[in-house]
Structure formats: structure tokens, C-alpha cells
Chains A and B, each alone.
Chain A
Amino acid sequence: MTMKQLTISGSPHVHGQDTIRGLMYGVVLAMVPAMLVSVYFFGLDAVRVMLISVGACLLFEFLIQKYLLKGPVSITDGSAVITGILLSFNVPSNLPWGILLIGALVAIGIGKMSFGGLGRNIFNPALVGRVFLLISFPVQMTTWPIPRPIVAEGITDAITGPTPLGILKEGLRKGESLQDLSSQLPDYLTTLMGNHGGCLGEVSAIALLIGAAYMLVRRIITWHIPAAYLGSVVLFSGIFWLIDPTYYADPLFHLLTGGMILGIFFMATDYTTSPMSPSAQLVYGAGAGIITMIIRIWGAYPEGVSFAILIMNAVVPLLDRGLKPRRFGEAIKAQ
């Protein structure tokens, strides 16, 4: 029988549905609710910041891959888009475009490409960019416009104000009690919906949670890191709140303010910079939660999510080495 040549390759001969693109654009899709809410609250400023951030991340990755590394260009894989969106989510909506460009360059250039690009970076690129900006441009990075729904009428000049965590930190430093501050702090419903001061993408917990649910259902992320992160934050803040509820804010306040939800579900779960085995992921998540709370309660900054995740990123190689998956046959079950 004459026949064309047969393909010979090792098993398996079928491949599942997952692709890098599929997973990355799944994450992008999960961020759409938060993007829409940010446009609702911060208007065209939000659109401007997101477009510049994503565009700059794509451009810098393209330039570096094409002209510096002279290799293949892979900007369509979706990872630079995620970095761009996350960076924009982590800055105030009135950030000058020049500063934003610097942030994107640091995120992509230093955070990602200098380590070898996709899959090789140690630190979450968006957070590298964010923290670089926070340290370099502390004033611009901590001047938050008050959300003003685009449907609202009246004044067009943006008004700036502090974040709930900023109010808390500043007030406690001045010796005020939580009770004194409560009139200035937004209630839970407000923080859940997002109508309070903060970075572009972090204000609306509910929008972020919708995206998180989507990622969990589609199995883009697993529950391990978010559960450990969330659990340790609740436990840590809960203990102190029980010790002195007049001085320490309750767990729900901590969960719904700052970049907590954004960090837990969208940044701590970044594939490349988080550990591989379930047990290591639990330790990593718990560690990030504890560091976040240490910074929030005792640190100089009101918010600690970015630093906590970056610090835990650095611990990942150690966790990967020390905490292995449970091997089959390791413990013979009792009959």
C-alpha cells in the first residue's frame, strides 16, 4: 500500500484546550468589570491612564524584543496587556502621562525583560513598576481624585482626597481613635462598590470579586493562594481587632480597602511569580497576608499589599525547593 509519510511522535497525541493566550486573555476578561467601574467613577481619566499604560507596556516590550534582544516578538501573548492593565489599576487616575510611561518602562524593561521575559521574571512586573513610581514620585502617586460618577452633574475639576487606609493611618498617628475617624471613613457598602478614594482599579471590591469568580470557575487560578492570603488577613486583623476594637480596624475594613482584593486575586496569583506546589502556594499566600497586615498596622505606608507580594515573590524559589507536592505512595493510608 502506498501512503504518504506518517507522523511519528511520542505520546500523548492529544493536547488540552489551554494555551498561554487563552489563559492571559481570560485574566484580561476578568479585569473588565473593574475597568468599567473605574471609567464610571473616574471618567475619561481612567480611559487615558489605562490606554497609555497598556500601550506603553506593549510598545516597550516590542522595542526591547525587536531591537535590543533582536529576537522574536511576542507582544500578542497577552502578558504585557495584563501588566499594562495592572499597572494602570495601581496608580491614581490623575497620574501625569510621563510618570506613567516611566512606570511602564520599569515594569516591562526591568521587571520582566531583564530577567528573560515571559516566565522568567522573579517579581511581578506591574508591582515593580508601581513601587518604583511610589518611591520616585510619592506626591503624584498618593494624590487620589475623589470618584465622581460620570453621570453626576456639576463641577468638572477633579477633587482629590485621601484613601480610607490613609485616613486611618494618619488619624491613628495623630492619636485619634477609630470612633473619631468613623465619620470620615466610608461605610462597607461604599467600599464594596468603589465610591471612595484610591487607585484606578482597586476601588470596587465587587467588580474585582466578579472577575475573581470568573477566573476560579474557568480554572485560570486555583483557590490556594487567594484562600491563604484572605484567611491570614482575616485572622491577623481579627485578632488585633478583638484585642482593641477602638484602635484596630476590623477584618472587613481591611479586606475592602486599598489594593487588597486586587492583590489577592490578580497579583498574588500571577503564575510566574508564585510557587508551584499547593502547599507552597498556601505558605506564600499566608505570608503575603501577614506582611500586608504588618505594614498596614505598624509600617510607614498605609498600604502594604504591593510590598507584601513583592517580598513573597522573592521567597518563591525557596518555597519551590522546600515544599514539594505530596508524592503518591509517600504515606500509606491506614486500612
Chain B
Amino acid sequence: MGGVHPPEQKLTAGKAIEVLPVPSVLSIPLGQALGAPSRAVVAKGDAVKAGQLIARGEAFISANIHSPVSGKVLKVDEVIDTSGYRKPAISIQTEGDEWMDGIDRSPELVRECLLNQEAIVARIKEMGIVGLGGATFPSHVKLMVPGGKKVDTLIINGVECEPYLTSDHRLMLERTEEVLIGTTILMKGLGVSKALIGIEGNKPDALEALGRLAGAYPGISVHALKVKYPQGGEKQLIRALTGREVPSGRLPLEVGCVVNNVGTAFAVYEAVQKNKPLVERVVTVTGKSLTRPGNFLVRIGTPVSALIEAAGGVPESTGKVINGGPMMGKALTSLDVPVVKGTSGILLMDDTSSARVEVEPCIRCSRCVSVCPMGLEPYLLALLSANEAWDRVETGRAMDCIECGSCQYTCPSGRPLLDHLRLGKARVGQIIRNRRN
């Protein structure tokens, strides 16, 4: 149903993951997970080790944050983060490379997991694991299935349908077995015996690598999916793999599924088997004018500018820098913002491709309707939002919009459909919340 085919532009698919040198100063935002920001448990002047807890997730939906380096806390203050707003953050000056005891940083595989379901969930919570596909939902919460709901299938998202991004692709190739062990742990944590790994057909090497090793892991199967954006959308992926459709406004739990990203599966492996908190991740740094685009293993809190330096520096022609991919990523206001748990890629776009196309009248070509993966009418919802007809925006099911951008991508009139839809969603969301209160 719906979907578009933007040029894939996977410039870095063949680039092995490189370890980025640790920067001298890092700033680690306290709000890195979906949900409530974490509370700092260190103060200015404190000495910290790499892997030490520096902020605790106290709300039900929030996650712990650990120091990615050893050093000294410079300040607990505010920095501009990827959202473009000032947000509380802990700044740390790097000194040496001392890790907390008990963290296993060796590359040795640990296959056996002796923890029980409860202990797995507790460990994942302790290690601050969040969804690394971009939504950053705390992973332990996903494993705690509410009473009355029955989950039978774990889905691992290796689709990576965003153009340009390759961090998940590289992880599947270079940490294949770790991803599979992580999947097994998630299955155990969830109490299911079946896991489906979905990968787009444009990554035959990843399909082959995972497919070859998956045989040794009971219950895990690997599936090639049609190349189509947004195949990796949570609801789209569930349907592609199971034929089940998540009802409007509900969670995947409703159809017995829980979805995790391959990056998350890898982080779970490290947390549970190696006792390693989520302090680093793989980030694709890419763009047509970059001299050394690549995939980098980066400590959380590293400034984006350091990452771009490693990829050859900011090209003269750069007009826009995006946190994420070109379809759903967010334009950055500054290159000083830190990499966070949800940063899957940094994309540099040239001046010429940074500006939007000219807006022309809607000619009712119905392309936006036919590409919408949720079966909505973007042209109508945009018009209704512009006219502030919020009740009709709501009944038009604007809240189902996953903001994939397919409508705006395909619109021959260059209309800012998603801008209007976001506005409509924000207002309708407010109205719904007010109604509940």
C-alpha cells in the first residue's frame, strides 16, 4: 500500500565501520529517550569513568544515561541539541580512557545468556538501551507487556529504507552474530519463540550473512522485503512480515508484535552479554560532496562537527546538514550539537538541493493519495489544516500520519503537505489531550 522510490544513494554501503577518536569535550543531553528527561546524578567537578551512570531515568518512560568517556564533569547546564532548542545536558572533559569494572570490551562473542526474563529486562533498563532506529523509545518498556496483551512475534527491523543511511547495514554485516544473539535475548526478554528479521532486497549481502547464521538460532528467520520507502515504518514492516495491520491509534502490541531495530539488538547484546551500557553507536556520515563519507563508531555526546571532520570536513557547497536521512531527518541549526542515542546518520546536502522547489497550485493529480502508506488524503488534510478545520483534520485521521514525507516527495506542485499535516497533528493532539482532561 502506497510508498515511493527515492534514489537509494547508499554511498557508504561498502565502507567498514571506523572507530572515531574520542573528542576532548562531550556534551550529553539529558533528554535522549522518548519520554521524560533523565535526572543528572553527577555534579560539576565530579570525576567519572566511562560507563558510569551519570543520569537516571526516573519516570516510567525514560532511560538511564552513562558517561561515554572517563574524565571530569565540566558543567550540568544547557546546550542546543539536535532539536534546535536549548536542553539540559552534562558536559564532560575527557581524561584518559578508564572504564567501569565489569564492562567487557573485548571482541569475543558471548553466546550463552544465563539471565532469566526478569533479569534481562532489568539489565536492559540499567544499561540505558533505547530504540536506535530513531524513535529512541526505552527498550525495557517495550519488553514489559501489559497484562491482557499477548505477544507472539518479535520483529527485528533491518530495512533501513531511508536513502543514504547505512549504519544498520554495516552492523548486520560486521556484527552479524551479535545481532542474532541480541535478537535471542530480546525474544527471551519478551517471552516469545518467534523472531522475524526484515531486510530490504537491496541488501543481498546482509540477507545472506544473517540468513546463513540464523539457522543456528531457533525461532529466528530472515526475510527479504520489497524495496520501497517507507518499508521500515513500524506498521508497514509488521504488515509486510505478518500480514497484520495495527489498528488506528494503537501499538504493535495490539497485533501481538514488538518491533526493535537491528542496532537495538546489537546494543542489547552488548548490555546483557558484555555488561556495556549504551555509550556509543554507529553513525553514517554521508553526502555527495563529502570527500570521505563513512560509517563511524561514535561516543554519544561527540559534536557533529568532529564527525564531519573525520569524513573529510564540511564541503564549501554545503547548504543543509540533516540529522538522519533525507526523508524523515531533521535539519540541524548548528554543527556543534552532540550525537545522541537516536542519531543514525548525518547527511550534508549541497546548496542546490537544500532549497525547496517552487510551490504551485494543487492540480488534484491524486499522487499523494496513492503513495500514502497509511491510506490518508494528504492533499485534503493539508487544506483542512491550512483552514484550521481541526475537527475534520481529526476525522480525516491525521493522527495516523507517520510523517514519512512520501506525499510531499511525490507532489508535482511542490506543495508543503507534510508541514501542514504536522501542524494539524499538533493541534489535533492538543485537542484530544484537552478532551481527556
Contact = CB atoms under 8 A, between A and B. Distances in A.
B335 A271 contact: no
Contact of B163 (A7, A10, A14): A14
A1 B1 CA distance: 45
A13 B349 contact: yes
B239 to A, nearest CB: 8
Contacts of B333: 6, 8
Given A13-B322, A13-B326, A276-B369, A327 B397 contact: yes
B379 A276 contact: yes
A67 interface: no
DSSP class of B's interface residues: helix, strand, loop or mixed?
loop
A10 B422 contact: yes
Interface in B206-263: 235, 239, 243-248, 250, 255
Contacts of A332: 244-245, 247, 255
A23 B328 CA distance: 26
Interface in B380-437: 380, 397, 400, 403, 405, 408-414, 416, 418-419, 422
Interface stretch (B55-63, B135-143, B357-365): B357-365
Contact of B418 (A12, A274, A277, A320): A12
Interface string B249-279: 0100001000000000000000000000000
Contacts of A277: 366, 369, 377
B307 interface: no
Contact of B361 (A7, A119, A327): A119
Interface string B343-385: 0000101000111110011111111011011111101100000
Contacts of B1: 326, 328
A329 B246 contact: yes
A9 B372 CA distance: 21
B377 A119 contact: no
Contact of A15 (B239, B248, B357, B375): B357
A157 interface: no
A272 B375 contact: no
A14 B131 CA distance: 25
B409 A7 contact: no
A11 interface: yes
A245 interface: no
Given A1-B335, A7-B354, A11-B403, A325 B365 contact: no
Nearest to B329: A11
Given A9-B356, A276-B369, A327 B248 contact: yes
A117 interface: yes
B87 to A, nearest CB: 17
B320 A119 contact: no
B117 interface: no
A14 B163 CA distance: 10
B331 interface: yes
B246 A14 contact: no
Interface residues of B, number: 73
B330 interface: yes
Contacts of A18: 367, 410-412
A239 B81 CA distance: 69
Contacts of B360: 20, 77, 118
29 contacts: A6-B318, A6-B321, A7-B354, A8-B320, A9-B356, A11-B327, A11-B405, A12-B408, A15-B357, A19-B412, A20-B363, A23-B363, A77-B360, A119-B363, A119-B364, A271-B365, A277-B369, A277-B377, A281-B366, A325-B369, A325-B376, A326-B1, A327-B374, A327-B397, A328-B1, A328-B239, A332-B245, A333-B245, A335-B244
Interface of A: 1, 3, 6-16, 18-20, 22-23, 77, 79, 117-120, 222, 271-272, 274-278, 281, 320, 324-333, 335
Given A15-B408, A119-B363, A275-B366, 15 more contacts: A6-B331, A7-B331, A9-B331, A11-B405, A13-B347, A119-B364, A276-B369, A276-B379, A325-B369, A328-B245, A328-B400, A330-B375, A332-B245, A333-B243, A335-B244
Interface of B: 1, 4, 6, 84, 163, 235, 239, 243-248, 250, 255, 305, 314, 318-322, 324, 326-335, 347, 349, 353-357, 360-367, 369-370, 372-377, 379-380, 397, 400, 403, 405, 408-414, 416, 418-419, 422
